Copies of this chain bind each other. A is one copy, B any other.
Amino acid sequence: MPASTSAPADPHRHDAKPRRRVGRPAAAVLDQDGITAAALQLIGKSGYDGFTMAALARTLNVAPSALYNHVSSKRDVLVLVQDHLTSLVDVSLFASDPWDQAVRSWAWSYRDVFSKHTPLIPVIAVLPVTDAPKTLAMYEAVSAGFSRAGFPQRLIVSAIVALESFIFGSAYDVTAPADIFDSGSMADSTPNFTAAVKRQDLEGYDKPADVAFNLGLEAMIARFGTLRA
């Protein structure tokens, strides 16, 4: 056989693919917005299981360690994603429509956004608003709407928190399997519950989660509505 095929590669020869560039690039290829967008795209394609720092770096054609020049941890990335998603929540009706309508559309849209991103909920729930400007902007729009509607100042934050807690819990509920309440072989020992599951009424909604969300949300809207001046 010809020597050229068996001999070790000439170390001075250029590789077929040119060696990946090292050191400062002509222009920065990464920034927080780009990382956020790539993270969102990756999560959409691979879900939160497939969302790793390595995969994120691959999406951006970059080494994993490069990410750490722009964020300080994976949690940081999740915060960026969370804040972006919150900006998709619809608060527009608070500026124009009646209070109850505004709360309704806000709550449904909030739940819908995060039901596809439940792994972020533990992050949001304890995140200081300082670290999430768009989230803070949402709170401003909502509390302005509550004020405008004559809601007593001293209750605004508590009411929003109560609604939000319900929204987060309900977002999980959306992801539950359809047969979650199937009592199976233990049906005999749980007659009341088994009967209640069988008689559950969908009221024209697509999913049980929607019925429950409507029920709880309307309860809060009705009761909170009476607290206004």
Which residues of A does B touch, CB under 8 Å?
118-119, 121-122, 125-130, 133, 136-137, 139-140, 142-144, 146-147, 153-159, 161-170, 172-173, 175-177, 179-186, 189-193, 195-197, 199-201, 208-209, 211-213, 215-216, 218-220, 222-224
Contacts and interface: CB of A to CB of B under 8 A. Distances in A.
A66 to B, nearest CB: 27
A19 to B, nearest CB: 40
B176 A126 contact: yes
A9 to B, nearest CB: 43
Contacts of A190: 136-137, 139-140
Copies in the complex: 2
A205 to B, nearest CB: 10
A130 to B, nearest CB: 5
Contacts of A146: 196
Given A143-B192, A193-B140, A196-B153, A208 B166 contact: no
A63 B170 CA distance: 40
B161 A212 contact: yes
A158 to B, nearest CB: 4
23 contacts: A118-B122, A122-B122, A125-B169, A128-B181, A129-B181, A136-B193, A139-B193, A140-B193, A143-B196, A147-B196, A154-B200, A155-B201, A155-B215, A158-B208, A161-B212, A162-B170, A162-B212, A162-B219, A165-B166, A165-B216, A166-B169, A168-B172, A223-B223
